[in-house]
A and B are shown apart, each in its own frame.
Chain A
Amino acid sequence: MLACSIDTKNYKITGRDSLVFLVDASKEMFIKGEDGEPSNFDMTMQVVRTVYTSKIISSDRDLVALVFYGTEQSKNPRNSFKHVYVYHDLNEPGAKRVQEVDALRGEKGAKLAAETIGSGETSLGDALWCCANLYSDIKLRLSHKRLMIFTCRDEPHGGDSVKDRQARTKASDLKETGVVIDLMHLMKPGGFNISLFFCDIVSPPEDESEMGLQLQPSDKLEDLQKRVRAKELKKRTLARLNLCLGEGINVAVGIYATAVAARKPGSIKLYRETNEPVRSKTRTFHTQTGSLLLPSEIKKAQYYGGKEIVMERDEVDAIKKFDDPGLFLIGFKPMEKLKLLHHIRPAVFLYPEEDEVKGSSCLFSALLKKCSERNVFALCRFISRRNYPPRFVALLPQNEELGEGKVQITPPGFNVIYLPFADDLRTLDPPQFPSASQTQVDKMKEIVSKLRFKYRSEGFENPVIQQHFRNLEALALDMMAPEEIEDLIMPKVDQIDQRLGPLVQEFKDLVYPAYYNPESKPAAKRKTADTGGGAEKKPKVELTEDELKAHVQNGTLAKLTVPVLKDACKQFGVRTTGTKKQELIDALIARLGS
């Protein structure tokens, strides 16, 4: 969630994200709320844990750190700062770290915290300095540096102006190196007054208009606590190529995948004894001599019409090549010519690449504007990669849409819809039925209206992946059982029934006769139902040698069934190694063919 808001600022991101939690460990943080509400410290640990576990799944290459200030004990790289305790230095989060944060939660956690870190003097300046060192010790390239201060004290130094000044200087030093400092102010009796001190520490809000407007602490926390179990993906082009409108008119475009079926992350093969990862090596060798085969000693073949048709490996590639990668404009069509049926794979997105061909954005923008205005799409021939055969695509204009707070909802560009070829369409023989009467339709309309909801594409989580992540989490963190998942794509039957009430019965009365039960299976169509069970099999088809020979001669062996072929093999004493049909046929031909 956090990363999203950052992403909108920078379009090209390289390097890793980093996040430092700077947590106040003063006595005030450990005070429990009324009605047994958890202490601020407890809540903070909860948040840290959530962020850790989210990061592990969404972007496990990001770096996180956990630093306490105002502690009794000190622990930092060079032990040059007192009352600063680096619990976790900047590194990729892992199971151990999550468990260590877990240890600080609850009643026991508070005790452990008191024992290991304790509460002592506060110097935010030192703490910030220490954090600056954490950043500078990292040799990796960092894309975002973020520091979050969790505290419930608006005057951490109790009015000590020297310490206040020191902290301000350090904060501005940090901000200069590109670190964004964020404050997560927690509940404090009497309210948290930011203007007392922290307004000078934190980074100014990104948007001018937000100045003066302070988010409620709880909102921010809630945001942080939202678990996102989805892999975050960096924006990358699938390909950069030219959209050719005509001879010499090439617009450079980048192709982006905006919706790709997410899968479970790939598994890693481990050695059973030590749990260390193993490497796999695949080699091709000659079965007879046992020698390794070089690529030049291998060819590719397909079997058709009784003949092995052999090609060189590069010929196999060459067959697929029609042209160089690119988009070639065929023409334009009115939007209604694009049918629902025209779908064979998820769409991709097109955006100009000014860096490749100067002037691309302007022509692209003009094309987008006009297509959108005239409600037409561009039909193009598309070769996405080297040695890929062409596909036809429809370029659908998509205008930029901004939501609240000028956040981009849809980016400007063309959606690329893949169109099917004749081979991709199947001819069906649809069953014919009478249409429903208007009364029946109207009743259904009532039902439909009762079950209306606003569809949001991000509203459904994939239960398979979610379950997998939770399982993994449970195993990694030694949990008793994985967290429960909510299967969002399961119909909420009770709710539906309740909303529909008597409508269902009314509809059923209109369309189904009383005796009809849609749940019951249709009468089984079994031809061999009368012969008692499966005990009696079909009479065996025994082939005579002549018949078989005729089959061999005419090449009609393939018409026989596998059991018949097997019997034939047995009958004529043909030994076969395989059980596949082709193998049986080959064996029979070898025996009887000559």
Chain B
Amino acid sequence: LASAASVVLCMDVGLTMSNSAPGEESSFELAKKVIQKFVQRQVFSETKIELALVLFGTDSTDNPLSQDGQYQNIRVHRHLMIPDCELLIEIENQVQPESQQGDCILSPEHVSLIPCRNLTLQAEGKKYDCLNIALLTDLNTQTNEESLEVIIKNLTQSGITVQFFLPFPVEEDKEGQGDSERRDPGHPGTGKGLSREQKKNKELVKEMMLSLDVEDGLDEIHTFRNAIEELCMFKRVERRPVAWPCQLTIGSSLSIRIIGYKAVTDEKLKKMWITVDAQSHQKDDVKRETVYCLDDDNETEVQKDDIIQGFRYGSDIVPFSKVDQEQMKYKHDGKCFAVLGFTKQSTIRRNQFMGSQIIKIFAARDDEHAGVALSALIRALNELQMVAIVRYAFNRISNPQVGAAFPCIKQDSECLMYIQLPFMEDLRQFTFPSLENKKFTPSDAQLSAVDSLIDSMMLVEEDENGEQRDLFKPHRIPNPAFQRHFQCLHHRAVSPGTPLPPIEPWLKAALDRPEVITERCQDPLDVLKRKFPLTEVEKKKKLKTSAQIFGKESEESEAKKVKEDEAEEYNLADIAEGSVTSVRIRGRAGRLNNPRRWARFCQQLTHRIEQLLSNKNTQYYMKSITCIQAFREQSVKLGNAEHYNSYLQSLKRSIPNRGLEVFWELLVQDGLTLISKDEVEGSSVSKAEANQFLVAEEKKEEAAPAPVEDTGDVDDLVSVQFLFLTFLYFYLNTCLCNCCDSNGVKTISCVSTWGVCDVLSSQI
């Protein structure tokens, strides 16, 4: 689709559109896809192009021209405006095939007039540089040949361009050549099987397109499938190049006026994620605040104005205010592209290119003399195989760089390519052991195995005509991260509440080895595998267990910990090991002295245990055991056995009913019995009772019902994470502050101090 300032999409939703050969998508589905992809592109690239959507062949009629029975069965779904997510959702849900008979549908040519007039009505005072009408139809309509001329006249006068999207190609032979290998020969709807109307209309369309004042009008007729393929990727990130005018200088008296353009740069997405409240989805509800405090026991808060900057100088820290820094820092004359000297191209190592961009340097526009002077330099460098080493400064504020300007001569243009080079400080001169080591020297057989692998995997090959063919060009692939990003955004916008879709197959394929290569390299790879024995060295688990993380953390500031916790991916396996649980509760020692809080904590913990136990699976059992273990330990420590004992007793009672015998055995093995008087004074359980507690049940053996295989990964994730977070909260946010008012409601000002009040805890 041409990029126009405004586009009217006219889609046929009539009866015949839903016809399809078995196993194939109907014309309607295809046309809808085309529209979806197109709108989606516009929404996410945030172009200012306005779109209108007109459906025809609809059951109802809704358009400003529908008077006196004219223009029936046409619905203006949306007037010209910038497309938004709403439109995407509407297309997804509201554009459905409708049932009007073909003969009732007005000719597409008529339809095209509606938006035109429509526009003129609407667009009073507005000026459109360019209007484009895209018609998606199967041409199964009755048409009025006489009107054709009027239409053509009308279109040419108003400078409106037209594009047709049809389920079949207009010219069979033309379709044949292009990308013949990509398309299966049985292209649906090709020529054959067209109705009389379709054939007639096809000729009409052809005639119309040819008579319009457009270059090669037939190029504006597309098939649905072609369009989908072209539109499947989101538009690449496009930025208008910004010219950087400067002067290339050699010494004091030779200068050439130049302009620079960024030619290659590591492009990033324009938008960042913003943080919103989980409930309201409002970003204004969330505020991030950074406070500073002294490293003393009270964590005395320090005002922002009372902070100065310092730098480490050996074992000392030197205060260095921003003002002083500004005054003492390196200053330079600003914008500059000055030659320091010339050197052989071979002395510049490819792996020492720095920075994230390449700047192309041309002579200043409309300055022929500069053009000639620069051309002389470019050609001289090219002939001598040399480069210019230059000092480059973008402007006064930016830091100057050293870089190389390579000559680049192409058929239609000459330029210098500037690439940043490293400073001495940037280089890390690491040395590595030589590979010329008897232990590692490959044998001849091994080398030839690698040789044949390379042979089989060459991506550049010559075809019969001696022309080179590159099977894999990364610089033609759109950044998959962007594609995936927009795919997910689109999905979430159109169908909220559903999980994200998998990566699109075309994208996956684009990132993979070309199929030809995969096939060809199979045998050489097998040989390679045999010739080179590779054995993985058994290692201790490398992933940090959560316990290690928290163990280490206890030395660090709590503020930092929160950050780390957020950053660290929750490793479920580790949490399952229970290290987190125990560490957490241990960490909380002394903060749960408050009986009320302890009670609430116990309640939450048992609730969690119950949740875990609802999954009858050893892994979950282990987690529960760990929790109970920690529960017990903490109870003993706090000298409060009541909650633990009562829970364990109730748990025991429920064992037979819930088929948790296996779990109970584990509990017995770990000796997790009641807390007796010997351990905690207040306990109402004697030692003997405690010992007996685990044994008693054994007699009543019952066949345990087969464990239900319900792993419920997602639930688990949620619950374990929740458990984790509960602990996190308890560990971090004890209410240390005194600023909660009598109702336990927190004032905003007290958020900055540590601690949290009951309001928050009750939310958990």
Contacts and interface: CB of A to CB of B under 8 A. Distances in A.
5 contacts: A281-B559, A287-B285, A376-B454, A471-B328, A475-B320
Contacts of A69: none
Contacts of A161: none
Interface centre among B50, B721, B748 (most CB of A within 10 A): B748
Interface stretch (B207-215, B352-360, B546-554, B583-591): B352-360
B330 A340 contact: no
Interface residues of A, number: 222
A333 B236 contact: no
B493 A445 contact: no
A271 B557 contact: no
Contacts of B290: 280-283
B255 interface: yes
Contacts of B255: 518-519
A389 B487 CA distance: 14
Interface in B132-186: none
Interface in B307-366: 307-320, 324-325, 328-330, 332, 338-344, 347-358, 360, 362-366
Interface centre among B250, B344, B471 (most CB of A within 10 A): B250
A270 B733 contact: no
B291 A400 contact: no
B417 interface: yes
Contacts of A359: 532-535
B423 to A, nearest CB: 4
Contacts of B318: 95, 472, 475-476
Interface centre among A257, A447, A473 (most CB of B within 10 A): A447
A113 B348 CA distance: 51
Interface string A239-276: 00000011111110000111111100101111111011
B540 interface: no
Given A390-B480, A421-B480, 4 more contacts: A261-B354, A285-B751, A310-B281, A504-B253
A252 B750 CA distance: 52
A460 B424 contact: yes
Contacts of A386: 569
B43 A308 contact: no
A129 interface: no
Contacts of B356: 344-345
Given A284-B288, A343-B358, A467 B329 contact: yes
A453 B342 contact: yes
B722 A279 contact: no
Contacts of A425: 263-264, 475
Contact of A293 (B277, B281, B351, B559): B277
A180 to B, nearest CB: 18
Contacts of B470: 333, 337
Contacts of B429: 4
A11 B434 CA distance: 11
B308 A304 contact: no
A249 B349 contact: no
A292 B349 contact: no
Interface stretch (B440-448, B623-631, B639-647, B673-681): B440-448
Contact of A271 (B307, B320, B353, B521): B307
Interface in A285-302: 285-302
B283 interface: yes
Contacts of B488: 311, 315, 319
Contacts of A341: 263-264, 358, 417
Given A281-B290, A309-B85, A337 B433 contact: no
A278 B447 contact: no
Contacts of B447: 366, 369-370
B230 to A, nearest CB: 14
B275 A245 contact: no
Contact of A91 (B286, B315, B354, B430): B315
A311 B219 CA distance: 41
Nearest to A296: B725
B277 A449 contact: no
Contacts of A374: 451, 454
B720 to A, nearest CB: 12
Interface in A331-380: 331-334, 337-338, 340-347, 349, 351-352, 354-371, 374, 376, 379
Contact of A408 (B236, B259, B309, B431): B431
A225 to B, nearest CB: 17
B266 A344 contact: yes
Contacts of B249: 491
A398 B288 CA distance: 48
A340 B454 CA distance: 23
A339 B116 CA distance: 49
A276 B294 contact: yes
A537 interface: no
Interface in B383-415: 383-384, 386, 389, 391, 399-402, 406, 408, 412-415
B271 A285 contact: no
B320 A267 contact: yes
A450 to B, nearest CB: 9
B372 A434 contact: yes
Contacts of A4: 429
A406 to B, nearest CB: 10
A448 B476 contact: no
Interface in A546-569: 547, 553-556, 558-559
Interface stretch (B74-82, B608-616, B700-708): B74-82
B376 A430 contact: no
Contacts of A468: 329-330
Given A362-B446, A412-B435, A308 B276 contact: yes
A501 B289 CA distance: 62
Contacts of A441: 375-376, 379-380, 383
Contacts of A293: 277, 286
Contact of B277 (A256, A286, A494): A286
Interface in B485-510: 485, 488-489, 492-493, 496, 500, 503
A132 B267 CA distance: 57
Given A344-B265, A424-B479, A428-B261, A379 B314 contact: no
Contact of A454 (B339, B347, B484): B347
A211 interface: no
Nearest to A313: B566
Contacts of B351: 258-259, 347, 349, 396, 398, 415, 417
A554 B278 CA distance: 30
Nearest to B484: A319
B422 interface: yes
Interface in A157-172: none
Interface in B443-468: 446-447, 449-451, 453-454, 457-460
B458 A331 contact: yes
A379 B414 contact: no
A315 B500 contact: yes
Interface in B708-760: 721-722, 725, 728-729, 733, 746-752, 756-757, 759-760
B475 A421 contact: yes
Contact of A420 (B264, B484, B534, B763): B264
Contact of A279 (B357, B517, B557): B557
A524 to B, nearest CB: 12
Contacts of A247: 525
Contacts of A235: 428, 430
Given A279-B557, A305-B84, A331-B472, A412 B413 contact: no
The 10 closest A-B pairs by CB, nearest first: A433-B371, A389-B481, A281-B559, A554-B81, A94-B315, A307-B85, A392-B474, A305-B84, A366-B442, A290-B748
B360 A430 contact: yes
Contacts of A332: 454, 457-459
Nearest to B322: A267
B252 A556 contact: no
A444 B252 contact: no
Nearest to A577: B284
Contact of A300 (B274, B287, B309, B399): B274
